[in-house]
Structure 1
Amino acid sequence: MTSDPSPAHVVIVGGGFAGLWAARALARVPVRITLLDRGNHHLFQPLLYQVATAGLSSPDIAAPLRHILRRQKNVTVLMGEAVAVDSAQKIVRLADGGTLGYDFLLLASGATHAYFGHDGWVAHAPGLKTLDDALLIRRRILSAFERAEASDDDAERKALLTFAIVGGGPTGVELAGTLGEIARHTLKHEFRRIDPQHARVLLLEAGPRVLSSFPESLSEKARLQLERLGVEVRTGSAVTNIDAGSVTLGDERIATHTVLWAAGVAASPLARSLGVPLDRAGRVPVEPDLSVPGQPRIFVAGDLATLQRENGKPVPGVAPAAKQMGNHVAAAIRARIAGRATKPFHYRDWGNLATIGRRAAIVDLGKLRFSGFLAWSFWLVAHIFFLIGFRNRVVVLLDWAVAYWTHQRNARIIVGRND
């Protein structure tokens, strides 16, 4: 009598939306899962800007992966970094020299910042993808006000109180709008030598309008709402240089000590080791079932994958799409184990929404489009609903309620040294 074969080993690289949702969807499947991530937590990235702007603290939008998956006995969580995939030997190579063998592999390691070949800008214009990024940005923003209060030089003060955000997508708009609120409301009456309300917030977008993924009518409403918050919206303004004391737009040099990058992303470099053609952003053009061309046991999901929808548009790099991809990969793995054909992935578009500031947002649900307070309320409820963990929902809801009535942001603690 022969013993049953050992269960298939599923390695998932990345504990974001795609990776975590895939792992959960495999909970009742007789497989052995290893979830590998560089950090020990799942991060609710849509609210990361709230940590960067002192509205929320880190534990409010993150939860330990081990805690989330503690009751799922077929999952082992490892903290480590994958650096390459050897598909011939069916192993994932790790940064510490170790390896992980797999029967099925899901790469969901996300994206990083793209500076379009200007790597020298990285030190002067941090992007926002991780909690470390958020804490760095928070430190730079709050320290700029502190340094301005201590300075006796008018030109230096003006530069310190000038904040430039590069990129008019959702992250850039959220950062700009919140910075406008901080300067005009949160810090009011707290300084003696400067008036935070005189801070200058610029949103710099190279394209013709902000939030280009939204209909033009909503994009225009977003611009107007930003301007009501005191944000200077500069479209058609391509950045040509960033250094320690300025940002340059063509021939115009703007003195500033705080530049934030929200202009572009590039896929995780892990994709390069697959030996398949990548798109310009380094993403993997996947098969309809999200597998890698020619490698049916390797799947790619989330920001690392690119796939055209039936309407010719790509699946967007947003949280709902990543969750749906994770669930689909789990279904595909179940099908492969059972010897069934896999089905193509179909993205269900629930709509698009972005917040600009307090009581200001836009929502695009296809035929239904709205903005202002109603859109902001819709955005708030949606984000509370999708947060992981009861504690996170309660804490965020309470913090937002306090902020709504008082304009205060309770996470304004500067930690670490200025860079």
Structure 2
Amino acid sequence: MVVIGGGFGGLFCARRLGGADVDVILLDRAASHVFQPLLYQCATGTLSIGQISRSLREELARHRNVTTLLGEAVDLDPVARRVTARRPDDTTFTLDYDALVLAAGMRQSYFGHEEFAKWAPGMKTLDDALSIRRRLFAAFEIAETLAPGPERDAWLTFAVTGGGPTGVELAGQIREMATNALAHEFHSIQPEEARVLLFDGGHSVLSSFAPALSAKAATTLQRLGVELHLGAHVTDVRAHGITVSPKGGGPSEEYATRTVLWTAGVEAVPFARRVAEVLGASTDHSGRIAVDADLSVPGHPEVFVIGDLVGRDNLPGVAENAMQGGLHAASCIRRDLAGRERADYHYRDLGSAAYISRRHALLQAGPVKLAGFLGWLAWGLIHITFLTGVQNRISTVATWLAAIARARRTDRSFMLGGSATEEQPYTWSACGPFELPARESRSVAD
């Protein structure tokens, strides 16, 4: 069998099939498992990429029937039961399957405005996290070299689109970073004066949480200094600013900012849309694929869809759903091998959590609703539990304790990149050799 994607769903499925009488190939475009719920802490310098990721080969080494391959699935032939994958050098190879598990996840959606991506990165991959880290810390460094005025103010203004968990976590962390970790390290600027603008089309942040918890989150964000702009959509993103339009109509507003972070929506990855096309499966507006009760595609019991891509019963796009879906798909395959009937998939809601700032987080699990310090403790325990690798858990706890004690960001390194990478926002070589104007071309002695 072939599993596409090494996220929570794909990893849990492959683990569950370890030792079974089946050959498993796990295909992933990064060959690593990334703990996505903590990407924002990597982006804001609290954790390193090694603390929130783990090599799939290392993680699955003890399962001798599981093979991990690096590649991106690009096409599917359901008749031949063959997946075509692309290597990083743009060559391709094929994988034959008896059963296929699609766990490729979702990508950031710009609602038809893909040009926004150049100036407003999303938060889905390690590359995204490192790109955001570069933009955040470089913004303060560039502002330090500018005289007071509109240009400096734009570099010290950070716009976040989307009031869900990722947007709230990013906005809170940027303000906390500015007011604590960076507060006394600059001479020309006052980092604590940095503006963080959070935009969302709804009437509350964290709308999936209970109203009382959502209100507490808004209060905490405002105490941190985050400026909430609700009932508004970002309708244009440029190098030097954004345009924001009220959801209910009215005049648009312009905001000068050099750093925009996009967390407003998701859509299916291209391969998932290709799978739906060749299998004749129906999809929703975001590309989620309709499946039967056992998570298989109608008319194709050999193809399973799990995680964020499942278009059934309004299943949430959260890690718990992906984990449970991966285990269920593996269980169905084991039942097939044993000649037993498959069971239907039943999602168990284990709750939701969101981090806002040090000692402030939310947890909602059934009747249990926690906020503030207790919510923060519960949030930490949950995330440590699901991190892959004992070493990552120990290292992350130690880093958090150090950050709590001294408000430090221990992993703030960033690289400006080279001219060969188009998406780099800043680079020394992209603009060619620098020449002073003629009137300034004089020696140091002069």
What's the TM-score bracket when you normalise by the shorter of the two chains? over 0.9
Which residue is equivalent to 1:328?
328
Are 1:285 and 1:305, in contact at CA under 8 Å, matched by a contact in 2?
yes
Once the two structures are TM-superposed, the CA of residue 272 in structure 1 deviates from its matched residue by 2.2
Once the two structures are TM-superposed, the CA of residue 153 in structure 1 deviates from its matched residue by 4.8
Q: What do the CA deviations read for 1:277-325 (whole angstroms, capped 9, x no partner)? A: 11110111111101011100000111122221xxxxx111111110000
Map 1:335-414; keep pairs closer than 5 Å: 335-414=335-414
Which residue is equivalent to 1:271?
272
Are 1:11 and 1:35, in contact at CA under 8 Å, matched by a contact in 2?
yes
Q: What do the CA deviations read for 1:350-369 (whole angstroms, capped 9, x no partner)? A: 11111111111111112121
Tell me, in whole angstroms, the C-alpha distance in 2 between the residues paired with 1:186 and 1:126. Answer: 23
Runs of 4+ in 1 over 3 A off after TM superposition: none
Map 1:123-162; keep pairs closer than 5 Å: 123-162=118-157
Determine whether 1:304 maps to 2:309: yes
| Aligned positions, number | 405
Which residue is equivalent to 1:170?
165
Are 2:24 and 2:66, in contact at CA under 8 Å, matched by a contact in 1?
yes
Q: Secondary structure at the match of 1:354?
A: strand
Map 1:90-105; keep pairs closer than 5 Å: 90-95=81-86, 96-105=91-100
Unpaired runs of 5+ residues, structure 2, are 246-251, 418-423, 426-446
Q: Secondary structure at the match of 2:232?
A: coil
Tell me, in whole angstroms, the C-alpha distance in 2 between the residues paired with 1:240 and 1:72. Answer: 48
Are 1:268 and 1:304, in contact at CA under 8 Å, matched by a contact in 2?
no
Are 1:106 and 1:300, in contact at CA under 8 Å, matched by a contact in 2?
yes
Tell me, in whole angstroms, the C-alpha distance in 2 between the residues paired with 1:272 and 1:42. Answer: 23
Once the two structures are TM-superposed, the CA of residue 40 in structure 1 deviates from its matched residue by 1.7
Which residue is equivalent to 1:12?
3
Are 2:77 and 2:83, in contact at CA under 8 Å, matched by a contact in 1?
yes
Are 2:104 and 2:272, in contact at CA under 8 Å, matched by a contact in 1?
no
Which residue is equivalent to 1:6?
none
Which residue is equivalent to 2:20?
29
Which residue is equivalent to 2:438?
none
Once the two structures are TM-superposed, the CA of residue 401 in structure 1 deviates from its matched residue by 0.4
Which residue is equivalent to 2:315?
315
Q: What do the CA deviations read for 1:127-160 (whole angstroms, capped 9, x no partner)? A: 0100010000000000000000001251111000
Tell me, in whole angstroms, the C-alpha distance in 1 between the residues paired with 2:274 and 2:411. Answer: 40
Q: TM-score, normalised by structure 2?
A: 0.89
Determine whether 1:215 maps to 2:210: yes
Determine whether 1:81 maps to 2:72: yes
> Percent of aligned pairs with the same residue?
48
Q: What do the CA deviations read for 1:367-417 (whole angstroms, capped 9, x no partner)? A: 121200110111011111111111101111011001101111101112133
Tell me, in whole angstroms, the C-alpha distance in 2 between the residues paired with 1:269 and 1:283. Answer: 11
Are 1:360 and 1:371, in contact at CA under 8 Å, matched by a contact in 2?
yes
CA separation of 1:45 and 1:296: change in aligned 2, threshold 3 A: same
Q: What do the CA deviations read for 1:145-191 (whole angstroms, capped 9, x no partner)? A: 00000012511110000000000000000000000101111101100
Tell me which amino acid in the other structure corresponds to 1:255. Answer: A
Tell me which amino acid in the other structure corresponds to 1:12. Answer: V
Tell me which amino acid in the other structure corresponds to 1:117. Answer: G
Are 1:66 and 1:77, in contact at CA under 8 Å, matched by a contact in 2?
yes
Determine whether 1:120 maps to 2:140: no
Q: TM-score, normalised by structure 1?
A: 0.95
Which residue is equivalent to 1:45?
36
Tell me, in whole angstroms, the C-alpha distance in 1 between the residues paired with 2:398 and 2:225. Answer: 27
Tell me, in whole angstroms, the C-alpha distance in 1 between the residues paired with 2:222 and 2:315. Answer: 31
The range that moved more, 337-346 or 35-44, is 337-346
Are 2:335 and 2:341, in contact at CA under 8 Å, matched by a contact in 1?
yes
Once the two structures are TM-superposed, the CA of residue 236 in structure 1 deviates from its matched residue by 0.5
Tell me, in whole angstroms, the C-alpha distance in 1 between the residues paired with 2:37 and 2:123. Answer: 11
Tell me, in whole angstroms, the C-alpha distance in 2 between the residues paired with 1:368 and 1:164. Answer: 33
1:195 is aligned, of 183, 190, 207, to 190
Tell me, in whole angstroms, the C-alpha distance in 1 between the residues paired with 2:20 and 2:385. Answer: 27
Tell me, in whole angstroms, the C-alpha distance in 1 between the residues paired with 2:364 and 2:55. Answer: 32
Tell me, in whole angstroms, the C-alpha distance in 2 between the residues paired with 1:244 and 1:366. Answer: 43
Tell me, in whole angstroms, the C-alpha distance in 1 between the residues paired with 2:102 and 2:129. Answer: 24
The two structures, once aligned, show a CA RMSD in angstroms of 1.0
Determine whether 1:290 maps to 2:302: no
Q: What do the CA deviations read for 1:325-359 (whole angstroms, capped 9, x no partner)? A: 00000011111222222111001111111111111
Are 2:134 and 2:414, in contact at CA under 8 Å, matched by a contact in 1?
yes
Tell me which amino acid in the other structure corresponds to 1:76. Answer: T
Determine whether 1:254 maps to 2:255: yes
Are 2:283 and 2:311, in contact at CA under 8 Å, matched by a contact in 1?
no
Map 1:231-250; keep pairs closer than 5 Å: 231-250=226-245
Unpaired runs of 5+ residues, structure 1, are 1-9, 309-313
Tell me which amino acid in the other structure corresponds to 1:197. Answer: E
Tell me, in whole angstroms, the C-alpha distance in 1 between the residues paired with 2:5 and 2:48. Answer: 23
Once the two structures are TM-superposed, the CA of residue 223 in structure 1 deviates from its matched residue by 0.3
Q: Secondary structure at the match of 1:31?
A: coil
